Amino acid sequence: MTAGPARSSVRALRLGVALAAGLLGGCAAIPWPHAAFPPADERRAEGWLDLRGVVHVHTGASHDSPGTIEAVVAAARSAGVRWVALTEHTKPGRLGPYGVIDGITVIPGFELSAAGGSLLALGLTALPDPPSKDPAALVRIVHDAGGAAFVGHFERSRLADPEAFRRAAPSGVELVNLHANSRERRGALAWRIPLLPSAVALRALLFVPDTNLARWEALPGPPPIVGAVDAHAKFRMLGPVGGTVDRYRDVFRLLTTHVLARDASAASILEALRSGRSYVAVEGLGRVDAFRFEPAGGGFRLEAPQEARLNLLCDGRRAATAKATSAVFAPPPGAQSCRAEARLGDRVWVLTSPRRLPMSPP
**CATH value at residue 165:** 3.20.20.140
pLDDT at residue 362, rounded to an integer: 42
Domain count, the chain: 2
Both 275 and 340 in one domain: the answer is no
pLDDT at residue 196, rounded to an integer: 81
**Does some domain include residue 233?**
yes
**β 337-344/355-356 pair status:** antiparallel
Q: Torsion angle of alpha carbons 118, 206, 246, 103, nearest 10°?
A: -80
246-265 pLDDT tens trace:
889 999 999 999 999 999 99
Which CATH number goes with the domain that contains 362? 2.60.40
Both 188 and 270 in one domain: the answer is yes
pLDDT at residue 191, rounded to an integer: 82
8-37 pLDDT tens trace:
555 555 544 444 444 444 676 666 667 778
Cβ atoms 291, 281 nearer than 8 A: yes
269-323 pLDDT tens trace:
999 999 999 999 999 999 999 999 999 988 999 999 999 999 999 999 999 999 9
The whole-chain average pLDDT of the chain stands at 88
103-115 pLDDT tens trace:
999 999 999 999 9
- Out of 258, 286, 314, a domain closes at 286
Both 271 and 335 in one domain: the answer is no
Integer Cα distance of 205 and 225 in angstroms: 18
The residues, ordered by sequence, that sit 6+ positions from 90 with a Cβ below 8 Å of its Cβ are 110, 111, 112, 113, 127, 131
Q: DSSP states of 94-138 as a string?
A: -----EEETTEEEE-EEEEEETTEEEEEET--S--SS----HHHH
Per-residue confidence band for 46, with pLDDT thresholds at 50, 70 and 90: confident
* CA nearest to 118, candidates 89, 143, 91: 89
The residues, ordered by sequence, that sit 6+ positions from 317 with a Cβ below 8 Å of its Cβ are none
79-138 pLDDT tens trace:
999 999 999 998 887 898 999 999 999 999 999 999 999 999 999 999 988 778 899 999
**Does some domain include residue 27?**
no
pLDDT at residue 195, rounded to an integer: 80
User: Which helix (H) or strand (E) covers residue 323, if one does?
Assistant: strand 317-329
How buried is residue 88: exposed, middle or buried, by Cβ count under 10 Å (0-12/13-18/19+)?
A: buried
**Which has the higher per-residue pLDDT, 43 or 331?**
331
**Does some domain include residue 187?**
yes
% of the chain exceeding 90 in pLDDT: 71
**Does some domain include residue 14?**
no
- Out of 253, 286, 319, a domain closes at 286
176-216 pLDDT tens trace:
999 999 999 988 888 887 788 777 888 899 999 999 999 99
Residues in a beta bridge with 105:
83, 100
pLDDT at residue 240, rounded to an integer: 53
pLDDT at residue 220, rounded to an integer: 93
**β 355-356/148-152 pair status:** unpaired
**Does some domain include residue 11?**
no
Both 193 and 338 in one domain: the answer is no
Both 204 and 107 in one domain: the answer is yes
* CA nearest to 229, candidates 210, 245, 206, 252: 252
Integer Cα distance of 136 and 126 in angstroms: 18
pLDDT at residue 8, rounded to an integer: 58
- Out of 245, 262, 286, a domain closes at 286
Residues in a beta bridge with 55:
85, 228
Integer Cα distance of 102 and 77 in angstroms: 9
Integer Cα distance of 110 and 92 in angstroms: 11
Q: Quote the pTM value.
A: 0.88
- Inform me whether the pLDDT recorded for 245 exceeds 80: no
pLDDT at residue 255, rounded to an integer: 98
Domain range spanning residue 339? 291-362
pLDDT at residue 359, rounded to an integer: 61
